[in-house]
Structure 1
């Protein structure tokens, strides 16, 4: 398993929060620089078995040791599974998150071998099969982890209206640490 410097990541998130007390950085108002507890290995395995997939090692290790979201790029890292709310908390997931986890969707073959710049329109739903939604940029633009095929493990941006499907990072670790180390 790809290990993470858990305390280093948590310290990095705290440092980012200290530099942004007004939560003015993009997405900070949503994720609030908070990490939820990691998921137990049994819960991750159950998710993989339910969906007939194997999560890329960098991401799997992150949710198992660092946290199940949300502090991270864009509006934050989407939870792999819905976090158990603490007393007085309420967790909500949107329709896109729930649709993403429909039976057969994650295990479907990822249909692209190469980037597809430009408008995707109605094809966005089909083109995002075989990917896991990691984050929302807003305006229907999502960051997704490719789960199978020759691009497995890569992070792509899906912008149905203008940007198309394009890679943004070679893997989860690079994508997350770029945010952590950035302004």
Structure 2
């Protein structure tokens, strides 16, 4: 399991790095403000992890262009291609994973009925995370807001769920974990995946 991030207090160095990255972006959406963030948290029974909480309250609440490819969404939104027929997102329910899960490679999935498998995948998409944005073709970046992975960013798509910023040599997406690490990785124009 990935650990070591402080999701309770905003590190001044992370905040400064985020301010620097977004300061020159003409497509940056103004910050939402502390009151909007607190209202959202109360409505959903969560506290957003730092430094994302400070980011949307004081620095920026989205970009029209990357990261991800189709822009960083305002904190209370889902992408236009998310679909209106999806189940309700339950942010206070813990995100169910602690390590990558590739649907086709899952030996346990074979023991599940199709409905049980679909229900388990649905939990990954809809429990304990905010959608940060999309790279298109059903590839969604999520910030985990509840559960053991709180504060980590995951890519969830039709093939599985992969955490960004795992520290092992065999990681699919190595980098510095957390929202600030994810944004910095993008700002440096680096590939998300280890083999690219």
Alpha-carbon deviations, 1:106-138, whole Å to 9, x = none?
111111122212349734322121111011011
Which residue of the other structure, out of 91, 94, 113, is the alignment partner of 1:106? 91
Shift of 1:34: 0.6
Q: Which residue of 1 aligns with 2:148?
A: 150
The partner residue of 2:179 within 159, 172, 183 is 172
TM-score (norm 2): 0.67
SS of the equivalent of 1:106 reads coil
SS of the residue corresponding to residue 142 of structure 1 reads strand
Would the alpha carbon gap of residues 143 and 38 (structure 1) be closer, same or farther in structure 2, given more than 3 Å must change?
same
Structure 1 residues 168, 100: closer, same or farther in 2, change over 3 A? farther
Write out per-residue CA displacement over residues 57-96 of structure 1, whole angstroms, 9 at most, x where no aligned residue: 11111111221102431211111136xxxxxxxxx96262
Equivalent in 47, 51, 54 of residue 40 of structure 2 = 47
- 3-state SS of the aligned residue for 1:45? helix
> Normalised by the size of structure 1, how large is the TM-score?
0.71
Structure 1 unmatched runs, 5+: 15-32, 83-91
Q: In the alignment, which residue of structure 2 is the partner of 1:118?
A: 103
Q: Which residue of 1 aligns with 2:58?
A: 65
The root-mean-square deviation of aligned C-alpha atoms, in Å, is: 2.8
Decide whether the 8 Å contact of 2:79 with 2:134 is kept in 1: no
The answer as to whether partners of 2:79 and 2:133 remain within 8 angstroms in 1 is: no
Map of 2:173 onto structure 1: none
Query: How much has 1:181 moved relative to structure 2?
Result: 2.2
Query: Corresponding residue for 2:189?
Result: 182
How many equivalent pairs are there? Answer: 152
Question: Does residue 127 in structure 1 map to residue 120 in structure 2?
Answer: no
Work out whether residues 110 and 130 of structure 1, in 8 Å CA contact, stay in contact via their aligned partners in 2: yes
Counterpart Cα distance in 2 of 1:52 and 1:172: 21
Distance 1:34 1:146, change over 3 A: same
Distance (whole Å) between structure 2 residues aligned to residue 101 and residue 180 of structure 1: 33
SS at match of 1:107: coil
Deviations for 1:23-66, whole angstroms, at most 9, x for unmatched residues? Answer: xxxxxxxxxx6101001101100000000001011111111122
- SS of the residue aligned with 2:41? helix
3-state SS of the aligned residue for 1:174?
helix
Q: Which runs of 5+ in 2 are unaligned?
A: 1-8, 110-116, 166-176, 191-196
